[in-house]
Structures are given as structure tokens and as C-alpha cells.
Chain A
Amino acid sequence: QVQLVQSGAEVKKPGSSVKVSCKASGGTFNNYAVNWVRQAPGQGLEWVGGIIPMFDTTRYAAKFQGRVSLSADDFMTTAYMALSGLSSEDTAVYYCATVAGGRFRYWGQGTLVIVSS
């Protein structure tokens, strides 16, 4: 089974950018889409967007369009989420997850992004 390992916590200034990685251990993203979900402190789950690495196709939630960019390496073992124009409202735990048939089956451990001046 695929295990997803995400990069470590980040502290960023307002207006800056962050890039979070998600590495597949024990496999590749060959047969999956990789989606990103975030969770603000004490809040629910919010879909950010997804990428199908095999076809390099992306979809983003309207709320993040223009600020978020999803990518994957050529070996389809690591996926990335870049988010720009950070504000305090972007403070959250960001999760990657493999998705097949709409099922978010395997999840990373989450990456805490704190935006603070």
C-alpha cells in the first residue's frame, strides 16, 4: 500500500509563498490522482485541488484559483502544492491524499503552515 510522507511545518510571512511536498513511499502515483485538503485550526475539511500526475492535469477549487499550483515530479513519486499570496486565513494543516473513484484512500500525515507577521 502507498504511504504518503509530507514535508515539515512552515512559518511564513503574509504575502509570501509556501511549497509543500508529498512523497509516495513504496509506490508511485501512477494509478492515482493526488488531491490536497486543508484544515484550519478547529475547523472542518476543505478541498484545495487535485492533480493526475500521469496526465499532468490539474483542477483547483475556485477559492484558490490563481494562488495555488499543483505539480508532480517526472517519476510520479512526489507531488507538490504551492500556495502564494499567503494571509493569516491560510494558516492550516495541509494534507495530500491519493484519490481513486472519488475515494480519498491514503493520506499524508499533514503539514502545518502558519502565516504570521
Chain B
Amino acid sequence: DIQMTQSPSSLSASVGDRVTITCQASQDITNSLNWYQQKPGKAPKLLIYAASNLETGVPSRFSGSGSVTHFTFTISSLQPEDIATYYCQHYDNLPYTFGQGTKLEIK
């Protein structure tokens, strides 16, 4: 199984800050990586697919980059409504696996 290692596990930032989360795959997954946002008590929401493509309707302050084994998720200017836990997920093959999550809090 492909292991997805996400860091940091938690992050505290101020409104307006640039926030970056990384995700490392245990083997080459080309660009087969998605990013999700999950708010408490809610289902995850797809933000970024195929490493760098913004899902329809998602604000442009969210972006993703990377390939092979190293991926980055960025919020260019943190907003209060971005408080959530963020997960990466690979789909290179089965089983799909998720990173352990990054809990984002407002400083």
C-alpha cells in the first residue's frame, strides 16, 4: 500500500497568512493526488484534484502543486472560514489512502 505522510499535523496561523501543507507519497504516484477540506461534523469536500487542478466553485486562494512523491497545498491568504482539517489522498492504485490530516487553526 502507498503511504501518505502529511505535515504538519496541526498549524496555527493568522488571517491573511499564507499557509502551506505538504504531503509525501511512499512511492511515485505521478500527479494522482487530491486535497480535501473537512469541517467538524461534515463530510470532506474536494478542493484540488490531479495535484494542481482547482475543483469547480472552490476559491482561487486554494492551490496545489507537486508530482511524483512530493506535493504541496497552499492557501494564499487565510480566511476565518478556512478553519478545518485538510487531507491529501492518492488514487494511483488501490487501496486509496489518505494522509493523516492537518488541523488548521486561527492564531
Contact = CB atoms under 8 A, between A and B. Distances in A.
Nearest to B97: A47
Interface residues on B, range: 20 to 34
Interface of A: 35, 37, 44-47, 50, 59, 61-62, 95, 97, 101-105, 107-110
Contact of B32 (A45, A50, A62, A102): A102
Interface of B: 32, 34, 36, 38, 43-46, 49-50, 55, 87, 89, 91, 94-101
Contact of A47 (B34, B45, B49, B96): B96
Contact of A103 (B34, B43, B98, B99): B34
A62 B95 contact: yes
A105 B34 CA distance: 10
B98 A44 contact: yes
A103 B64 CA distance: 15
